[in-house]
C-alpha cells in the first residue's frame, strides 16, 4: 500500500488588479523552509497517528526531497504496530498566514489512498474554528473523488445559485460539522485515477468576493500555469467555472475568515 504524498511545488500569489504575482514558492530542496511540524498525536480527527517532529520525520524518512526535486510526505509503513498503538505520520503548517486577495496553487503527483488512509490539504485561521477553515483536498479510504469544503461559525451559507462544476452536499449551513461540502465531478481527482493521470493542480482564490477552487488533471492544466514562472504574473481569466464556489453574497469573507495558515497532513482512521 502506497502511503506517500508526492508533489512538486506550492505557490502563493497576491492580486495586483486583474493578475496575480508570486509572493512565496515552496519547492525543491528549500521546500521545508517556512513550515512547522506538528510533533504530537492527531487531536483534530482522532486518527491513529502521531504527527512527528521535523527531526524525527526526516530521520525516519517520512519527509524529504527526492533526487527529482519532488517533496515526499508519508506515513510509516514498515513498523509493525499493535492494536491501539499510533503509527508515525506527518503534519506540516506554514509559518506565514495568507490574507484575502491571495491565490494558492499546489502541484501534486501522487496522493495516498487505501483503507483507513486520510490525506488532506487545508487551511485555518489562528482561532480555529472561529476564523474559518478551507478544505481543498480531502478524501478517505477508496473514495474516487476529492471533497472540498469550508467550515465557519453560524451565519455563513453556500448559495444554491452559485456557478460551479462540483456538486454541493446536503447542507448549505457552513457551521454544521461537515461544513459546506462540494464533491468533485471531474475524473481523476483522487485515488488510483489521480495517480494514473500523473497527478494534477489545484488553485484556490481566497478573496473578499468569495472562495473559488479549481482542479485540473495533469493533461488539462492550463498553459497559463504550465508556462508561468516565479517572476511572471498569472491571469485567471481563461480558467472558466470553478469546481467549488463560495460566494460572499451569503458568506461575508471578512466576517468569517481571517488570514489562513496552510496545512498538509496524512492521518489514518479517525472521525470523518
Q: What angle do CA 109, 15, 182 make, to 5 degrees?
A: 50
Residue 67: the pLDDT is 93
Cell numbers given for 198: 500523473
Q: Which domain holds residue 150?
A: 4-268
Decide: helix, strand or coil at residue 55.
Answer: helix
- Retrieve residue 264's grid coordinates: 498538509
Q: pLDDT tens digits, residue range 8-23?
A: 678 888 877 668 999 9
All three cell numbers of 9, joined, read 511545488
Pair 203, 104: CB distance under 8 Å: yes
Q: What is the pLDDT of residue 228?
A: 86
Positions annotated as catalytic residues are 133, 138
Of 264, 235, 265, 254, nearest to 13 by C-alpha is 235
Query: For residue 2, what pLDDT is reported?
Result: 42
Our count of domains for the chain comes to 1
d(CA 80, CA 32): 28
At residue 129, the pLDDT reads 81
- What pTM does this model have? 0.95
Q: What angle do CA 207, 210, 215 make, to 5 degrees?
A: 90
**Contact present, 125 and 131 (Cβ < 8 Å):** yes
* CATH number for the domain harbouring residue 255: 2.60.120.200
Q: Is 43 exposed, middle or buried (0-12, 13-18, 19+ CB in 10 A)?
A: exposed
User: DSSP characters for 237-272?
Assistant: TTS-S-SEEEETTSS-HHHH---BEEEEEEEES---
Closest of 76, 62, 64 to residue 32, by C-alpha:
64
**C-beta of residue 150 within 8 angstroms of C-beta of residue 164:** no
What distances in angstroms separate CA 195 from CA 4, 19, 28, 106, 192, one per listed residue? 11, 31, 20, 15, 5
What gap in Å lies between CA 79 and CA 100, rounded to an integer? 42
Q: How far apart are CA 124 and CA 97, in angstroms?
A: 9
Which residue in 110, 139, 101 sits closest to 122, CA to CA? 139
Residue 215 and residue 146: Cα distance in Å, rounded? 10
With CA atoms as reference, report the closest residue to 65 among 2, 118, 119, 4. Answer: 4
Looking at residue 61, its pLDDT comes to 96
Walk along the chain (272 residues) in steps of 10 and give the mean pLDDT of each run.
60 78 92 95 92 97 94 94 91 96 95 95 92 97 96 94 93 95 95 94 96 97 89 89 96 97 96 89
265-180-246 Cα angle (round to 5): 100
Amino acid at each position: 500500500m502506497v502511503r506517500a504524498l508526492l508533489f512538486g511545488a506550492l505557490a502563493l500569489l497576491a492580486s495586483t488588479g486583474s493578475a496575480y504575482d508570486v509572493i512565496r514558492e515552496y519547492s525543491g530542496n528549500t521546500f521545508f523552509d517556512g513550515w512547522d511540524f506538528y510533533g504530537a498525536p492527531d487531536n483534530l480527527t482522532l486518527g491513529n497517528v502521531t504527527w512527528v517532529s521535523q527531526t524525527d520525520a526526516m530521520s525516519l524518512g517520512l519527509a524529504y526531497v527526492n533526487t527529482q526535486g519532488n517533496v515526499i510526505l508519508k506515513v510509516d509503513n514498515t513498523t509493525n504496530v499493535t492494536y491501539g498503538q499510533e503509527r508515525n505520520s506527518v503534519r506540516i503548517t506554514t509559518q506565514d498566514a495568507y490574507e484575502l486577495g491571495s491565490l494558492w496553487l499546489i502541484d501534486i503527483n501522487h496522493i495516498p489512498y487505501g483503507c483507513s488512509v486520510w490525506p488532506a490539504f487545508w487551511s485555518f485561521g489562528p482561532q480555529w474554528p472561529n476564523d474559518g477553515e478551507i478544505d481543498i483536498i480531502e478524501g478517505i479510504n477508496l473514495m474516487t473523488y476529492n471533497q472540498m469544503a469550508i467550515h465557519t461559525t453560524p451565519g455563513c451559507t453556500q448559495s444554491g445559485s452559485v456557478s460551479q462544476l462540483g456538486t454541493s452536499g446536503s447542507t448549505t449551513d457552513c457551521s454544521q460539522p461537515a461544513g459546506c461540502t462540494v464533491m468533485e465531478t471531474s475524473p481523476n481527482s483522487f485515488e488510483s485515477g489521480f495517480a494514473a493521470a500523473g497527478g494534477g493542480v489545484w488553485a484556490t482564490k481566497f478573496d473578499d468576493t468569495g472562495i473559488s477552487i479549481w482542479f485540473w488533471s495533469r493533461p488539462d492544466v492550463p498553459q497559463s500555469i504550465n508556462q508561468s514562472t516565479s517572476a511572471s504574473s498569472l491571469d485567471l481569466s481563461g480558467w472558466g467555472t470553478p469546481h467549488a464556489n463560495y460566494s460572499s453574497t451569503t458568506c461575508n469573507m471578512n466576517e468569517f475568515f481571517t488570514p489562513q495558515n496552510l496545512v498538509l497532513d496524512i492521518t489514518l482512521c479517525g472521525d470523518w
